[in-house]
Amino acid sequence: MSLFKKWMMRSASEPVVSVQDNRLALTHLRKLFADFRHPTAKATQKDQEDRLYSMLPIFCKVFENSPSSEMTEKFQDILQFCSHVSKLMVTEIRRRASNQSTEAASCAIVSFLEAETTEENGNGWMLLGSLNLLSMGTQALTDCMTAASLPSTLVKCLYLFFDLPDLEGGDIMEPGTNFTPKERRILLQKITRGFVQVLVRLCNHVSPAEELARKDDLILLFSAITSWCPAQNVMWRKSAAEVLVTLSRHGLTSTVVKYIHEKGCVRHCIENMQRIQELSPIELVEMFVSVFCFLKDSSEVSQILLDDFRQSQGYIYLSEFLLRLEQDEDESAKQALRNLILLVGSLTTCGYQEMKPTQASTGSLFTMPGFSLPQPTGKGVSVRNIQAFQVLQTAFLKGLKSHMCSTILDVISSIYHQDSANYFILEPQHTLSQFAEKIYLKPLEVQDKFFELLEFIVFDLNFVPCKELISLSILIKSPHSLECSILCMKSLLKIIRSHPMYKDVFREVGLLEVIVTCLHRYAALLKEPHEASDNQEHIPIDKEQHELGFLVMEALSVLLSGNNLNAGVFRECGGARCSHNMVPYTDCRQQALNIVQQLVLSPGGDDDMGTLLGLMHTAPILSLELKTHILKSLLNVLRESHRTRTVFRKVGGFVYVMSVLVSMEGCLEDPPKAPWDAVKRQDVLNMLRTVFSTLTVAMRYEPANAKFFATEVRYDSLTEAVRLLGCFSTTIDIQPTEDNMEEGKTSEVLEDFFSNAKENRLKKEVPQILLSGCLMIRYLYDMALDTFDKPAIGVGQKCDSPSMKRFTVIEAPSPQSSPKQKRASTGSISLPMAPQPDHVIVHPGAVMSIFHLLPAIEYHESMQMAQELQLYVADKIKNMLRTEKNQQIMCDAGFPHELLSHGGVALADESHPLHDPLQHTFERLSSQSLTPRDLRDFLRLGAPLNCQSVDEVYGCNCSLAINPWREVAGMEEKKPTNDVDKKSV
């Protein structure tokens, strides 16, 4: 059975006093006390004491279950009674302590105060119970006890109890007793009627504290809480701490504070803790807790005691103790360390004088928009004790264990969070900048918390921490820890992206140069395996090194984006050359190209674009992946900037890209020949599409570029380069057919493939060489209409934004196609919307190239499919000329002449499969414009009435033919109106 349960059972077994009995007992108590106050002449001191002892049980029974106010109301002599009882306790204690050793005195006093074994409790226990009841009364009762020197006497007893010997047979219950000796000792210390409770209740008032100071006994409490004692007496030291903390909350008057300062009580505590070697770390933590609680309470009334602690080197000793306690791996020690750090954190907000941040503490080179220096919130949350914070700072810098460093960061974070002004008050301490220099030595968990704290300064306080960023630059420049550098770069990336100003901040604090240094370091790692000789062992690059390198390159891309000054510094540091040299490495190519893109977009990017194009030109023929990536990177910058499109022309970009196309000769042959048999077909197709897309985008919104390509590079060269890819023959003119083509069944398949470019979705098998030809026609078609990565734009619509990309393309249904709407081009979305107006031809030379390649679509093993593809392409050309604007554009480009020169056979032969689409095309063109020469050539088709030109007769064995006058009549009947005859469509 537990001690407290036994005590409660014993209390419950006592008979309940009725109201009537209580009144009688109170009357009897009054009479006894009146007799006591007027003793006879023969009454000795012992007789008086016995009379008083006889009143104590009655007093306890009357008032133990009553409110404390009833003592004054029902017992008018309570003050005199209290004075006599207090004096009796003081007399008894002095009587037993006089002329005795500390051990003998403490044993005698404890024996007097402990509960007896019989139901009639001992005099000391009853006296103590009475004082307990009286201590719950008014201030006047406390003053009576204080006047009798009871507080100082009890404190002396408490100090003597440190010398109590260990109880022999403490767990053996003697016959006729309810408690063992050990239980009686605990009752004296802890139970409501116990010794400590009297002292604690007394110290809730001011007068006991002043009496302790006046009697010079207050220093005993300070000595008690920091003194060594045997294990069996530790509870008395805890009791002393409880009394002292209570006194600090209620009794710190100016007199008491002056006494503590003049007697050096705080210094005495620090010296005790440093001097006594027997104290365990846990005991020292408890002592620090007691001292800190006292200091916290004292700061409410005065700064003197905090200054005493500082002058006694208390903060230095505290820092040393934290580092010593960190080494203890016991779980209880870790918990004690955590509690102590939390208490030190709370001590940072303790102080009598308010501290405010100064403008000098925000001496940053940059100020964020909307930033204003915060002011302290007030007592309890704002920092007022710099020395306590320095303890945390010192312990973190010197500590190594995760549990301590992590707890310190948590405490510092809570300090920063609870008042925005705290960071600026503490800014002169350079806390985070010092932490940054040593953070690589800490565990990863601690590193994470540190960078979160730094991000709080940036994002929540809206402040630019230049000193901290400079420290981070030192951290990542010295490759101490890959993991730490990775975390640092991730945090820096978040900061860069938070506001454009940080791009300038990183340049001014030197972070940009440091990150470029990291780029050089990563480039060197990539270069080493490639330079290693065959007999040298190849050491692979760590995954962490790659991750760090990617983060560095990503940060550089963000820093260079839209910041010309950063681009200049980057070039001066050799970053541009390094980035270009990293492009060939597959591991980091995309990241390197991202950096180069930003360089190209910045002023002075001409050389960077030329270098990138030169790299593509010098790459091996089969390095399609490298070339594709470079062209896609160029595509990104060409879409974004007018200047880069102009630079592209000036540095010979069109020639470089055309050279890539020329170098791919034979890549689309079926079956492919060396070296193209070692390359995936999809890689080849991706490369070709990127080439056409690059050429098209480079001319977008740039008339000068379009003119340069048409006149200097020439579409004839483009046509020949495409012809040499291997999917077209060398045929230049449309050839006559021997037999009529059967009714086609492939048009729907071709339409689907032309729209989607998905070979795996074909409903009918089509020879691969024809599919390749169809794709090339599609790329030229997109080039002609400038529909690479653009929305469908109809007649009369304009799009002036160069950045439009990845929109839906809606095809207008052709006569041969199904009336059902077709799927959009690759990578786009097919939307169920109304048919859009036809596209405007942007590059008529591309249409001419399509027409020039039309006769070259041949496949002798399946002439039927080849002719169907020719017919499909001819229909596409015809459909592009629906609008008068497109007709006028093609007439200005001389398309009628080309049509007559290379398609005369089909125009002259009504039975030719291509006759109808070419005839309709020619009619549409002739309705807009037709030169006399083209008219003569048309009239001479088939050499009617032997009307061939003399130059054409020689060397030609032509039979006379009759020009179909129906076609001529059809031309004559064409009305030059805005509406085209629907029958001709």
SS (H, E, C) 527-550: HHHHHCCCCCCCCCCCHHHHHHHH
DSSP 8-state assignment for residue 575: H
Query: Is the model's pLDDT at 464 over the cut of 60?
Result: yes
Highest mean pLDDT among 49-63, 413-427, 833-847: 413-427
Question: Which pLDDT band, with edges at 50, 70 and 90, does 282 fall under?
Answer: confident
806 vs 777, more confident: 777
Instruction: Give the pLDDT band (50/70/90) at residue 489.
Output: very high
Rounded CA-CA distance 733/935 in Å is: 19
Predicted pLDDT at 172: 64
Sign of the torsion formed by the C-alpha atoms of 100, 103, 105 and 108: negative
Residue 60 binned pLDDT confidence (cut-offs 50, 70, 90): confident
Mean pLDDT of 874-892: 93
Q: Does pTM surpass 0.85?
A: no
Say if residue 298's pLDDT is above 70.
yes
Whether residue 719 is predicted with pLDDT greater than 70 in this model: the reply is yes
- For 952-970, b/e burial (b = at least 16 CB within 10 A) is eeeeeeeeeeebbeebeeb
Within the chain, how many helices (H) and strands (E) appear? 50, 0
pLDDT for 73: 84
pLDDT at 918: 93
pLDDT tens for each residue of 120-173: 457 888 888 889 889 988 899 999 999 999 999 999 998 888 888 887 655 666
Long-range contacts of 754-757 (CB under 8 A, 24+ apart): 754/778, 754/872, 754/876, 755/811, 755/822, 755/823, 755/824, 755/825, 756/823, 756/825, 756/826, 757/685, 757/825, 757/826
Q: Residue 263: is its pLDDT beyond 50?
A: yes
Enter the tokens of residue 932.
Answer: 């006399």
Running DSSP on this structure, what letter comes out for residue 855? G
- Mean pLDDT for the chain? 83
- Please measure the distance between the N-terminal and C-terminal CA atoms of the chain and give it in whole angstroms: 109
What mean pLDDT is predicted for residues 80-88? Answer: 92
Confidence (pLDDT) at 40: 76
DSSP conformational letter for 380: T
Distance CA 268, CA 825 (A): 87
For the ranges 278-282, 684-688, 881-885, which has the lowest average pLDDT?
278-282
Q: Is the pLDDT of residue 4 over 60?
A: no
Query: What is the pLDDT confidence band of residue 114, given thresholds at 50, 70 and 90?
Result: confident
Q: Which residues contact 313 (CB under 8 A, 6 or more apart)?
A: 270
The reported pLDDT for the residue numbered 829 is: 37
pLDDT value at residue 498: 93
Q: Where are the alpha helices (DSSP H) in 641-708?
A: 642-650, 653-663, 681-699, 703-708
Answer with the residue of higher pLDDT: 103 or 752: 103
Counting Cβ atoms within 10 Å, is residue 640 exposed (0-12), middle (13-18) or buried (19+)? middle
What is the predicted pLDDT for the residue at 340? 92
Instruction: Tell me the pLDDT tens digit for each residue of 435-462.
Output: 999 999 999 999 999 999 999 999 999 9
pLDDT tens figures, 899-944 = 999 998 888 888 888 999 999 999 999 988 888 888 888 887 766 6
Question: What was the pLDDT predicted at 814?
Answer: 40
| Reported confidence tier of residue 790, pLDDT bands at 50, 70, 90 | low
